[in-house]
Chain A
Amino acid sequence: MSNEQTREDVLRSFSVEEDQSKATLDAYLVQYPQFAMDLVELSLELELLGVPSSDSDDDIEVSPIDTSQVKAALSGENAKGIAKKLGFPRTVVAGFRDRTFAPETLPQSLVRRTASAASIGKAQLLAYLCMPTSIPTGLSMKAAGKPEEMEKTSFADFVASLDLDEAQKARLYDGGYNNGSD
């Protein structure tokens, strides 16, 4: 074993060991005494708090979501209100509405705050964002025929393309923990 592993490598590697016996823990402790407490805590977590053998699937939204409701909550006067309330440019709200963003690139706190300002559920908004992107409303008016699916954009790339100052960028990424959940 190399002793130059990072803390994350060591803990992650230990966490996915199939054999979680004391012998395995001892081997890690001897090799990585600098992470000893982390390893002991993790071993206890894995031993004592094993995942439930059976999950309820109550929380999974299997029924199709009402996209028109979410879209309406993010459009027109609602969009203006959300942008004002959260201090975002309206184009960010439009990005949500048009499902422009690759959902895995969005900060969770931004999804939560946007959902809260739009008076919709966070899970509902995430489900909406995970649907195919459609051509933005403005363009689809000019398009002939069926709208085409578009590539999704990384949220970081989208922000970089906007002419935002640091305070505006910070508002987008700030968790909103100090001023309520929205």
Chain B
Amino acid sequence: MNNFDELPPLRKFTVSGQVQVRRARTVEQIQRARKDGHDYLVKRAMIGDRSSSDYVVSEVLIFMMRDTKKHNNRRMFDKYFWILSQRVQRSFRWRNLGGAPTSDLDQLRMEEMVMDKLNMLISKDMEGYDERLDYYEVSFDQALMCDRQDAWRSVMGKAKRHVSMTNSDDDERLTSEVNVALTDMAKDAFDENEKRNYLLRCLAAIKELPDKEREVMMYSLREIPDESTDPSVPSISSILKCTPKTVRSRRKSAQTKMKVLLGEED
């Protein structure tokens, strides 16, 4: 690496105490962008096809936007800001794990929360340096997903849940499909796409459950064991501070309701 290639390190630390680092692809693209100049980069940034070799990842745009501070180049800052705003706007088309907001107004509020949050970080970074913006230089899309999840949770809260089913314990067994999807995702019984779609359906059903049952099912979905004697292995009972028996009882109740929600009751 020569001096031209050297990039200022990020400043935000990971939770394990290491400084965050940019991905290799980002570094390569920044080096290319520095050689090609702002105007050519802005042209390339208009390419929306992520599979194109000329596609500019958003992490690079964040870096270049921040870099305009050095030369007080407001004109270029505004161009990068505009392109990034458009990309954030486009990301609202991505599916949301919790489902779509229940009204246009909620959708609007969610979008504006995400945009305002990022803009606030950009604005503070312009005044000096805001380490929180480093996350977007590491992985813009993933940082944005984190924001979307927060906004969804904030806007929708628990209002969407409306459980009206009774707690039947007639049938303790899950159907074979639910069993596979919820408790043994390592098995390759579904093809990936089918499994993913089924999981999304299961998740939508889980979201409808009462809190305590929902928690158990969410952890089960991630294959967290009910109990563990190994301190390096998390368990549902330790996280929820309850006995393994309680975990099983809540799961049993949840499974009965889920069968109804998924239209799979006997």
Contact = CB atoms under 8 A, between A and B. Distances in A.
Interface of A: 1-2, 5, 8-16, 18, 22, 25-33, 36-37, 40-46, 48-49, 51-62, 102-109, 112, 123, 126-127, 130-132, 149, 151-152, 154, 175, 177, 181
A177 B81 contact: no
Nearest to B16: A1
A16 B143 contact: yes
Residue with the greatest number of chain A CB neighbours at <10 A, chosen from B49, B82, B203, B223:
B82
A103 B78 contact: yes
Given A49-B97, A49-B145, 17 more contacts: A1-B15, A22-B222, A26-B232, A26-B234, A29-B239, A42-B146, A43-B222, A45-B97, A51-B50, A51-B94, A55-B48, A56-B49, A57-B47, A57-B49, A108-B119, A175-B112, A181-B108
A44 B116 contact: no
Interface size class of B (residues with CB under 8 A): 35 or more
A149 B115 CA distance: 27
Given A44-B203, A62-B46, A131-B78, A31 B112 contact: no
A168 B44 CA distance: 43
Nearest to B132: A12
A46 B81 contact: no
Contacts of B81: 103-104, 130
B116 A108 contact: yes
B46 A26 contact: no
Closest A-B pairs by Cβ, 7 of them: A57-B48, A29-B234, A108-B112, A15-B146, A130-B82, A130-B78, A55-B48
Interface string B1-34: 0000000000000111100100100000000000
Contacts of B215: 37
A112 B111 CA distance: 12
A55 B90 contact: yes
A149 B75 contact: yes
Interface stretch (B134-142, B163-171, B247-255): B134-142
B219 A40 contact: yes
A152 B142 contact: no
Contacts of B16: 1
B1 to A, nearest CB: 21
Contacts of B135: 12-13, 15-16
Contact of B238 (A8, A26, A33, A151): A33
B179 interface: no
B94 to A, nearest CB: 6
A175 B109 contact: yes
Given A31-B15, A48-B200, A59 B86 contact: yes
Residue with the greatest number of chain B CB neighbours at <10 A, chosen from A28, A45, A123:
A45
Contact of A104 (B47, B122, B218, B219): B122
B158 interface: no
Nearest to A25: B222
A13 B135 CA distance: 8
Contacts of B238: 33
Given A26-B234, A104-B126, A44 B51 contact: no
Contacts of A32: 15
Contact of A18 (B23, B85, B108, B109): B23
B173 interface: no
B159 interface: no
Contact of B14 (A13, A58, A62): A13
A131 B76 CA distance: 10
Interface in B144-198: 145-146, 148-150, 196
10 contacts: A9-B15, A12-B135, A33-B234, A41-B218, A48-B97, A54-B50, A104-B126, A126-B82, A127-B82, A175-B112
A102 B239 contact: no
Contact of A15 (B46, B132, B143): B143
Contacts of A59: 86, 89-90
B164 to A, nearest CB: 23
Contacts of B86: 59-61, 123
Contacts of A57: 46-49
